[in-house]
Amino acid sequence: MPVLSSALCFSGWAQSHLSLQNILSNNFLVDYFDYSLFANYNSLVAKAKFTTNSPDIVMGWSLGGQIALRLLADKIIQAKLLVLLAPPFQMVKDARVQAGMPTKVAKDFYENLQKSPSDTLKKFSILTSLNDRNAKEISKTLDIADSNNCLSWLNELYNFSCFDLDFSQMPPTIYFHGKGDSVVNVAQSKYFEQKIPNIKIYLLDDCGHAPHISKQQFIIDTIQNAIS
């Protein structure tokens, strides 16, 4: 019997930790890691138990991609292949990253999440499907997970920049990003292209912030070709 390839997956902010389960086939033994159980990244590093810390594939969507990058850079985990789905290099705009969320917009979103979490998360799901050819399918498929730690992970997202990472030891990387993404500007892909030595970037037409739903078969085929 062939040995199953192992994978470690990190979902997007405020999404079900199982959101990526349709990407990796039965040929993988997958740990869909629920980081929302931890208060923040430091708590995750201190307390988390992975089924394996050296899977064949590490995959992360949005904030999950950023978490995967941090764990790899900190040598908490290692992998043969990294798959990134629309991750932010830096979420909030500053002098270094113009293609980020304006500070006022970030502040307003945070305050709205504090005051009315359910309504704010519904609006966020609309942003996720915006500018996507398959917007209706995405809206039906998204599984919002309103955990008690949404605010703390949003704060983590706002305050972290991938400029703080050492990318020199990153594994070969496949990167997918929708050209119409309204959550993380697709222009941020250029920073990953500059920083990760062995990266293949796919910028996807008619696609928003959920490429794993909108372009599911293309992503599956690309991953399979990379590991075959």
Nearest of 81, 85, 80, 79 to residue 66 by alpha carbon: 85
Mean pLDDT of 19-34: 89
Inter-residue contact 9 to 31 (CB < 8 Å): yes
CA quadruple 107, 100, 94, 188: dihedral sign: positive
| pLDDT, averaged across the chain | 94
99-145 residue pLDDT tens: 999 999 999 999 999 999 999 999 999 999 999 999 999 988 898 88
Question: Domain spanning 5-227 has what CATH number?
Answer: 3.40.50.1820
Q: What is the dihedral of CA 19, 24, 25, 28, to 10 degrees?
A: -120
Residue 189 reports pLDDT greater than 50: yes
**Dihedral sign, CA of 91, 167, 207, 136?**
negative
Distance CA 130, CA 53 (A): 35
Q: Is the pLDDT of residue 41 over 60?
A: yes
- Using the predicted structure, report yes or no on whether residue 2 has a pLDDT greater than 80: no
E strand or H helix that includes residue 43: helix 41-47
DSSP string, 105-120: HHHHHHHHHHH-HHHH
User: Would you list the DSSP string of 53-102?
Assistant: SS-SEEEEETHHHHHHHHHHHTTS---SEEEEES--SBSB--SS-SSSB-
Query: Tell me: the pLDDT tens digits for 68-88?
Result: 999 999 999 999 999 999 999
DSSP 144-166: B---TTHHHHHHHHHH-BGGGS-
Distance in angstroms (rounded) separating the CA atoms of residues 105 and 151: 15
Q: Indicate the domain borders of the chain.
A: 5-227
What is the H or E stretch that residue 195 is in? Answer: helix 189-195
Q: What is the mean pLDDT of residues 186-211?
A: 97
The model's confidence at residue 1, banded by pLDDT at 50, 70 and 90, is very low
Average pLDDT of the residues in 203-224: 96
